[in-house]
Structure 1
């Protein structure tokens, strides 16, 4: 009877936005830390040995002044290389975006290395995740309910729950990060923009976590400032992010240097272009996906073994001239491994508007990081492809995608974001005073 209720809830969720999706039972939650890792991944490797068992890394490194690295992993040689000549042999393990790149550009290849499953999280995240498994629900697609600190849905029942695991994962309490961005034209020449970003994570905060209940609870503060180029320098975007939609969801402000004032910015959403990206990145493509889910129907297709960007320490530290090449990133630098990913298909609801009519997300089981997104237009054609270079961060026991790439197949340009190798490493030791992430505080600092 219980399984029938879960199936019925999943079916009705598309028609009834306020429906509360079922939580998992104690029998399912008991698998966490046993056959499942504490955050819900399959602990064992696969049958042919290409995916190893989970072996969590120990915490190491300073909170500031260091880039993530792993000397042993970085010294490895590729097991094999995928090109247009042998793509058919590996097609079942490739995203549609990677297939397109391989078939279209003779210079594109994928170097495949031994797989490592070392992603680890702090103990308090493990403990909170175990509690969430039986307590945390999802109302509609945008309202986590009765969730606190840990991954909200370690044993997901819906596609929307997988995306919320990505959005709410532990990333440290605070971080100040350098975000350099490249717009690369088909010749390989690029324009460089530089941003600084300040983020305070509230939901997964170690000492003062903010619980999420239906329609209530801020889960992060975000403030970005464009440093260059001069024509957009000084522009700032402030976001106070909550669960929910409309008045109970995201609150955003934009500071425009020309106007010398900060104002509410409801357009900081969805497929509106992020300031200063020349239309190459939508707001909801930051961090691979963020913002409201309400415009789409989210289908959980299950797990799949795939070749994905992983342990990309070299790509994260590469100089920008070394990365930029005509049509695609320098194919000698990214590292690919075989991992299990959750596959989630998002289809635009009738009557809703977005540039992408369908998106297919590939989400790593160990980190809940979105590693790839196939983006389709209204005619069903593959329009864009997002790729996040998955990289563990052992100093804070988390996992990021750095850098991230958006390939624009219509124009031949591609956009690279989350670069920091020619700037500064993330600073997780930063502390923000009360009131730092308010519109009045931003206006006051900008006016000095």
Structure 2
């Protein structure tokens, strides 16, 4: 594996240098897409060229978006017996899952580069290419607004900021479930929550000058199970991880008060995930980067979960299988991804001593992740599933899983299978009144 990683690094760095030198003229009409991905397909024709055409996914009466590729059949299936033949396109964690669970399988479908965004976002990305920069050792983004900041990243922190600041809507609302599964096959609904997300960074009326530095606010109101109903969380994320990694508040009905909660960051275990995922595991990684040195290993063709509208439309009984998600429910495709490796910085602490993240080139969002513990053992592997909303247009990861490869337990989070679809609204600064500590208290159940 080390030999493969060194090859990725050498090829990747050469590609990065060449891309960075040509990024400005290429973003609109050259070799790169407006988001900095390669326009062309691959040599084998198994990855198509990006054509910039949005796919029709108008929601139905249930507010769920259809699966535009529902009629397609898998091109191939990969299981434990055939994994070695495809090892160069599988992550360490994916191969470990295939080896651990006999029923685990990857069904690979035709690839579709369906991720399309609005012209306003493309314009912002082009502007960011000329004005965005990092400060404080990569922990602070300056000069960026309204789009990913570094369409041709030169280092790991730039690419990781692209993931963090990728487009997930302006005001996004959905109700989601969290399920915890034991190694023995038991399933528990630990949390149902109303999720409201606001992204000031994508306010179309805003500009880099005068931007508050808050890139996201999240409010989570728990409605089930009854023992936890009424609990609420609120967080604020910033583009300056150097001076302000994250703010968080928590409302607990029994205490009838809102408390500032600095524990909603880093590797604090998420109680509703039974310790299988931490707060910085949301979307495979979220929060401050100050615990890690981040390297950009380059770009690689990999099999990744993609275009999973069909997954979200299935009932949860058809989705959760023995040891993993039901392979019949998950669509995998071949795509190019940026590979990042984050290792603990000197003097820093996190239970994840090393992380490897795989960012889809068309959305810049992490779709796969592997985590190693302090003893160097491959510990957890994560998968994130992309919701295609061509009607917006957007494409972004929503539900995600984390598998504990040592204990066999796993969590399926942000699941909308039983709760409806996702609502996207235009940004309205007045809506931020819902994202305050006082609003958290008034909305809680006593």
Same fold judged by TM-score > 0.5? yes
Contact preservation (8 Å) 1:59, 1:396? no
Among candidates 163, 167, 172, match of residue 160 of structure 2: 163
Q: Distance in 2 between matches of 1:213 and 1:276?
A: 37
The residue aligned with 2:67 is: 70
Q: Once structures 1 and 2 are overlaid, which stretch shifts more, 55-64 or 405-414? A: 55-64
Q: Distance in 1 between matches of 2:237 and 2:299?
A: 29
Q: Distance in 1 between matches of 2:371 and 2:402?
A: 10
The residue aligned with 2:111 is: 115
Deviations 1:179-203 (CA, angstroms, capped at 9, x unpaired): 1111011233211121111111110
| Structure 1 residue 226: Cα displacement | 1.3
* Alpha-carbon distance change, 434 to 412 in structure 1, aligned in 2, over 3 angstroms: closer
The residue aligned with 1:11 is: none
| Structure 1 residue 85: Cα displacement | 1.4
Query: Which residues of 2 match residues 403-422 of structure 1 at below 5 A?
Result: 403-422=399-418
| Structure 1 residue 172: Cα displacement | 2.0
Deviations 1:335-357 (CA, angstroms, capped at 9, x unpaired): 11110000000001122111111
Which 4+ stretches in 1 moved above 6 angstroms? none
Contact preservation (8 Å) 1:232, 1:276? no
The residue aligned with 1:47 is: 43
The residue aligned with 2:303 is: 307
* Alpha-carbon distance change, 420 to 169 in structure 1, aligned in 2, over 3 angstroms: same
Q: Distance in 2 between matches of 1:62 and 1:50?
A: 29
Partner of 2:198, secondary structure, is strand
Partner of 2:297, secondary structure, is strand
Partner of 2:221, secondary structure, is strand
Deviations 1:62-107 (CA, angstroms, capped at 9, x unpaired): 5995222233x11100111111111111000000011001122221
Q: Distance in 2 between matches of 1:279 and 1:433?
A: 33
Q: Distance in 2 between matches of 1:395 and 1:63?
A: 12
The residue aligned with 2:248 is: 252
Deviations 1:291-320 (CA, angstroms, capped at 9, x unpaired): 000100000000001111111121122211
Among candidates 143, 149, 152, match of residue 152 of structure 1: 149
Gaps of 5+ in 1: 1-21
Q: Once structures 1 and 2 are overlaid, which stretch shifts more, 330-339 or 355-364? A: 330-339
Partner of 2:424, secondary structure, is coil
Deviations 1:151-176 (CA, angstroms, capped at 9, x unpaired): 11101011111111111122222011
The residue aligned with 2:439 is: 441
Q: How many residues were matched structurally?
A: 424
Among candidates 139, 143, 147, match of residue 142 of structure 1: 139
| Structure 1 residue 403: Cα displacement | 2.3
**Alpha-carbon RMSD:** 2.2
Q: Once structures 1 and 2 are overlaid, which stretch shifts more, 337-346 or 309-318? A: 309-318
The residue aligned with 2:13 is: none
Deviations 1:25-63 (CA, angstroms, capped at 9, x unpaired): 784311112200001000000101111101223264259
| Structure 1 residue 429: Cα displacement | 3.4
TM-score after normalising by structure 2:
0.90
TM-score after normalising by structure 1:
0.90
Among candidates 13, 24, 27, match of residue 29 of structure 1: 24
Q: Distance in 2 between matches of 1:43 and 1:167?
A: 23
Q: Distance in 2 between matches of 1:288 and 1:135?
A: 28
When you count helix as a share of all residues, which structure comes out higher? 2
* Alpha-carbon distance change, 423 to 92 in structure 1, aligned in 2, over 3 angstroms: same
Among candidates 250, 269, 277, match of residue 273 of structure 2: 277
The residue aligned with 1:188 is: 185
Contact preservation (8 Å) 2:231, 2:445? no
Partner of 1:127, secondary structure, is helix
* Alpha-carbon distance change, 187 to 323 in structure 1, aligned in 2, over 3 angstroms: farther
Contact preservation (8 Å) 2:307, 2:388? yes
* Alpha-carbon distance change, 402 to 200 in structure 1, aligned in 2, over 3 angstroms: closer
Among candidates 79, 90, 97, match of residue 93 of structure 2: 97
RCO (CA 8 Å, sep 6+): is it higher in 1 or 2? 2
Deviations 1:219-250 (CA, angstroms, capped at 9, x unpaired): 11110011112222211111122122365342
The residue aligned with 2:263 is: 267
Partner of 2:34, secondary structure, is coil
| Structure 1 residue 444: Cα displacement | 2.5
Contact preservation (8 Å) 1:204, 1:210? no
Partner of 1:332, secondary structure, is helix
| Structure 1 residue 208: Cα displacement | 2.5
Among candidates 345, 351, 363, match of residue 347 of structure 2: 351
Q: Distance in 2 between matches of 1:246 and 1:278?
A: 30
The residue aligned with 2:200 is: 202
The residue aligned with 1:398 is: 394
The residue aligned with 1:18 is: none
| Structure 1 residue 114: Cα displacement | 0.8
